[in-house]
Amino acid sequence: GENVEQHPSTLSVQEGDSAVIKCTYSDSASNYFPWYKQELGKGPQLIIDIRSNVGEKKDQRIAVTLNKTAKHFSLHITETQPEDSAVYFCAASRGYKLSFGAGTTVTVRA
Amino acid sequence: ETGVTQTPRHLVMGMTNKKSLKCEQHLGHNAMYWYKQSAKKPLELMFVYSLEERVENNSVPSRFSPECPNSSHLFLHLHTLQPEDSALYLCASSQVGMRQTDTQYFGPGTRLTVL
């Protein structure tokens, strides 16, 4: 089955700096790659996603890049703010089955 | 209510109890999912229901029993659980059925503690 690895497990950044989270996947047939943000006491919330026919996607301060050849994708958050502090999960899927990374705890220092 | 709702939000039960978790989606979606989230581990898919069929993770113990009476409601019936079953149980839904890739939207979860 699909195996998704996510790094780093924790990330501390100064407010205003950028944060980058990287994921690799094993199944070359995976074609959908969402990113979720989970705040304390809440369920994961979709923040951005990308499909395998696209190499990059941007939404305001958030961007995702996908390298199908290398089977890795990354989340970039620019101009980080305190409200960006949360756990971020990457996932990869083919069909209905989402395989998740273990998560990255991001802390934005004021 | 909007999105995906789950009740109760917190549940403490003994190993001999029987309880049920409820999920309701208000998005008009056709597929619903149960996930288990344990500390320091990736989310684990337990069950999937859609208009066409049900799929389950064969590693899920039989003490977890799902029920999906219609496309908007999903239940997880619990009986004779073990302390290691303590976790956050998340419900999700997606618009299309299991044969296609689609965005999954999650509820807030039920924090389950088994004593």
Using a CB-CB distance cutoff of 8 angstroms, which residues of chain A are in contact with residue B99? Answer: 95-96
Residue A99: closest CA among A71, A70, A77: A71
Confidence tier at B52 by pLDDT (50, 70, 90): low
Interchain pair A43, B106: CB under 8 A: yes
Cα–Cα dist B109/B1, whole Å: 15
Q: A28 — phi, psi (to 5°)?
A: -65, -15
The predicted model gives B78-102 an average pLDDT of 89
The predicted model gives B31-52 an average pLDDT of 89
Count Cα atoms within 13 angstroms, Cβ side, for A62. Answer: 15
Cα–Cα dist A64/A14, whole Å: 21
Q: Does B46 touch chain A (CB under 8 A)?
A: no
pLDDT, position B1 = 54
Give the tokens for residue A11: 């990330």
pLDDT, position A26 = 96
CB A77 within 8 A of CB B82: no
Confidence tier at B55 by pLDDT (50, 70, 90): confident
Residues forming beta bridges with residue A64, ordered by sequence position: A57, A75
The 10s digit of each residue's pLDDT in A3-38 is 999 999 999 999 999 999 999 999 999 999 999 999
Interchain pair B42, A49: CB under 8 A: no
**Residues of chain A whose C-beta is under 8 A from some C-beta in B?**
4, 31-32, 34, 36, 41-46, 49, 51, 89, 93-103
The 10s digit of each residue's pLDDT in A45-101 is 999 999 988 899 999 999 999 999 999 999 999 999 999 999 999 999 988 889 999
Interchain pair B101, A100: CB under 8 A: no
Using a CB-CB distance cutoff of 8 angstroms, which residues of chain B are in contact with residue A43? Answer: 4, 6, 90, 106-109
Residues forming beta bridges with residue B108, ordered by sequence position: none
